[in-house]
Structures are given as structure tokens and as C-alpha cells.
Amino acid sequence: MRLVLLGAPGVGKGTQAKLINKKFNIPHISTGDILRNEVQEQSELGKKVKKILDSGELVPDKTILEIVNKRLVRPDCKNGFILDGFPRTIPQAKGLQSQLNNEGHLSLKVIEIFIPEDEIILRLTSRRICANCGKVYNIIFNPPPEDGCCTKCGGNIILRDDDREDTIKNRLSVYRKQTEPLISFYQKKDIFFQVNGQQSVEMVFSDIEKILLNM
């Protein structure tokens, strides 16, 4: 099962990827998480991309393709994977396709989780995460404890730099310009499905599950 989760920032790709990982036991590969990790560890790559992440722009295709190509040849990807936040541009999608073709993996499916933009802005500006374990809270729908400490690990609950309102608006505009064209790219290949993201987490997962079990 080789799956790409597509959708604007904040539609719940990460949440759904974790559920799919649990149920189908295939690795969840989030390029955003990989890059944030590099920033946190202050690696060479992390230092190079920090400003880009904070602004909501995209990291160059070449850098991302190197990261993903390296990750996909690891043994845990043999039976499949969930890509979350990749590809985000047509060159990235073509790079992925050629890597899969080289390895004889042809059965890619693409699921877009769709939510209208004004709803996304509301969701993201109210999102908070644990700086230590990444657990996601929402000040409206799933408020963190008053002491600001994560219920899972006790870490600090914070607003991600790239969840600030001006950055969110830029991320959405970047999505519209650079990532939305992927929808027609994949629709033409007949491997594209869309689910309604304005439902409970469980309902969205159930829709995704139906698509995956019909693969």
C-alpha cells in the first residue's frame, strides 16, 4: 500500500497518517516532521531550512527529493508507506514517480483531504503542539491543560512558528499555487480520491479506510 496524503496545511493529514500507520502498519513519512527535526537538532540542513520553514515557503525540490529518496529505500518501506506533505510540487511528484518506477512499485494511491480555506485558518490559528512529543491540541476543540504542560509527556505546549496567522496565509497561498496543480496531475492518472475533511477524525478515517480496503 503506497499512499500519498494530499491537502492544504491543517486539514488533518498528520492525524490521519498516524491512524493509517496504526491500522495498516506501514511507516508514516512526514517531510515537515523530518525538516522540523533537523531544525531542532541544528544540523547543517536544519540551519539551511529554518528560515524557509518559518516563512511558510517551500524547501527546494532537490533537497526534498534527496530526503525522500533516501527514506523510501529503507527496509520498513518494503510493503508500503504513507507520504504526508510530499509531494508538494509537480517536479517532486515526477521525482517520486520515477523512483517508484525504478523499483517496480507502480501502485500509488493519492487521497486528498479537503476543507475550505476559512475553516483551515480557524483550525490552524487555534492549533497548539507539544514541543517535546508533538501531541496536537486545539484551543477550541481540544484545549491543552491550563498549566501548559503536555498530558502525554509533560513537555511545553506551544504555537508552532509556522502556525502564526501571516505565515498560515502565506502557506495557503503557496499551497494554491504550487501544490493544488498536483490534483489534476493525479486525476489524469486515475489514482486520485477525495475525502471530506469537515467531519470527525473517526469519520474521515472511515472514508479513507474504505478507499484503502478497495485498493
Query: Is 35 a binder of ligand AMP (CB under 6 A)?
Result: yes
**164: annotated active-site residue:** no
Answer for which of 19, 26, 64, 129 binds ligand AMP (CB under 6 A) is: 64
Cα 39 to Cα 5, 43, 77, 94: the distances in Å are: 23, 7, 24, 27
- Which residues 152-171 are close enough to bind ligand AMP by CB under 6 A? 162, 171
Q: Which of 104, 105, 162, 88 is nearest to 129 (CA)?
A: 162
- Location of C-alpha cell 505565515: 167
51 or 210: CB nearest ligand AMP: 51
Q: Which of 8, 53, 129, 130 binds ligand AMP (CB under 6 A)?
A: 53
135 is catalytic: no
**Residue 124 binds ligand AMP, judged by CB under 6 A:** no
Name the DSSP letter for residue 142.
B
DSSP, residue by residue, 2-32: EEEEE--TTSSHHHHHHHHHHHH---EEEHH
In the complex, the residues that contact ligand AMP under the rule CB under 6 A are 9, 31-32, 35, 52-53, 56-59, 64, 85-86, 88, 92, 162, 171
